[in-house]
Chains A and B, each alone.
Chain A
């Protein structure tokens, strides 16, 4: 028997990189959109997904570029792809299609800098394997920002960007000059 699970790890660091706080907790992870895209590829048949703007569209499998489906490899500053953070504590629902109050990239009021989205190759761990997705968010806005929700935005051809996972977390306040590292740890272990 194997166990597939997802955990979230948070690290709050000061401007010098000194660790101030570290948490690790289970993620509720998936929303319906992710599961639907999985079904699209299991069945190899187009289905409808809700985009982050609330409209729906069909996944386009007729184009070779559908190989980009599930992509979460956001580049620096890209708040449409990869791990994203927000300030809302609206409870999780599997039909949600976006973070409820996303923090955008930048140094303006209420903004944070989005680092590049890192996705490590599968690593062997005790009794199994894991994938780690991590992203660093820097606050240069001039004021504190309290993060209350995190999620993952992915891409699917024909749909564009969509919410794949969302969690409401115990709030973490990121003061000006501090950074927050968010890690999703997806593991498959024997049990």
Chain B
């Protein structure tokens, strides 16, 4: 006898993206949350490498192929001030999401020149409980000192490999956010799982 349940529950890892726009004095101008469920295939690949203790070819954020093996730093996304190659990344493209993507379509780099934002550290908090689940907050603050407005339309998470980085998730913002000169944008991922 073959038995198949018809219902499919989505009980995997999910995340929401919380955004905060502040003026030069730190005053909160706007705050909103966007549901994010845009893991890309490289997240699954990285999970496979570690669970199977094996290796597989991935496409790094620079577009090159790499045979990724197990490494203690796999999944690592915490990073320091100014590192726009790892952690939470923002960009200016609204190109539609695809599971095959390996980088943001138009990432903003770190700096205070035209089209750049200052990248704060990416911080990763300890697990905390929530209603019927647990969550991890990952946060980064982007400050605009470029002299002109920058419109952020995409966010993503880049994770470290032994050599290079791989993208784990990419989201196109439902509402693009204009970060004016001297304003800051806080991007906070709430990664969670629920069990009820």
Q: Give residues in A with beta carbon < 8 Å to B.
A: 1-7, 20-30, 32, 35-36, 38-39, 41-45, 47, 61, 63-73, 92, 94, 119, 121-122, 127-131, 133, 154, 157, 186, 188-191
Contacts and interface: CB of A to CB of B under 8 A. Distances in A.
Closest 3 CB pairs of A and B: A4-B12, A66-B72, A43-B124
Q: Which of B37, B53, B136 has the most CB of A within 10 A?
A: B53
Contacts of B10: 3-5
Contacts of A122: 41, 44-45, 48, 56
Chain B interface main SS type: loop
B51 A154 contact: yes
A72 B38 CA distance: 26
Contacts of A61: 72
Interface stretch (B1-9, B17-25, B112-120): B1-9
Interface residues of B, number: 54
Nearest to A152: B51
A28 B75 CA distance: 23
A35 B72 contact: no
Contacts of A94: 133-134, 195
Nearest to A10: B3
Given A5-B11, A29-B12, A38 B54 contact: no
A129 B134 contact: no
Contact of B40 (A2, A5, A186): A2
Given A42-B138, A43-B78, A72 B51 contact: yes
Interface of A is mostly: mixed
A137 B112 CA distance: 61
A69 B124 contact: no
Given A36-B127, A67-B70, A121-B52, 11 more contacts: A4-B10, A4-B43, A43-B78, A44-B78, A67-B72, A68-B70, A70-B51, A73-B51, A129-B44, A154-B51, A188-B39
A90 B74 CA distance: 34
Nearest to A191: B37
B66 interface: no
B12, B56, B124 interface centre (most CB from chain A within 10 Å): B12
21 contacts: A1-B38, A1-B97, A2-B99, A23-B5, A24-B3, A36-B127, A38-B136, A39-B126, A39-B127, A39-B136, A41-B72, A43-B125, A44-B73, A47-B127, A66-B72, A67-B74, A119-B48, A119-B54, A121-B52, A121-B54, A191-B37
Contacts of A38: 13, 75, 136
A27 B133 CA distance: 15
Nearest to B124: A43
Nearest to B157: A42
B47 interface: yes
Nearest to A60: B72
Contacts of B62: none
B71 interface: yes
Interface of B: 1-5, 7-14, 37-41, 43-45, 47-48, 50-54, 56, 69-78, 97-99, 124-127, 133-134, 136, 138, 159, 191, 193, 195
Given A2-B38, A44-B73, A64-B72, A35 B127 contact: yes
A18 to B, nearest CB: 12
Given A69-B50, A188-B41, A188-B99, A42 B78 contact: yes
B41 A26 contact: no
A154 B47 CA distance: 12
B9 A41 contact: no
Given A3-B10, A42-B138, A133-B51, A22 B40 contact: no
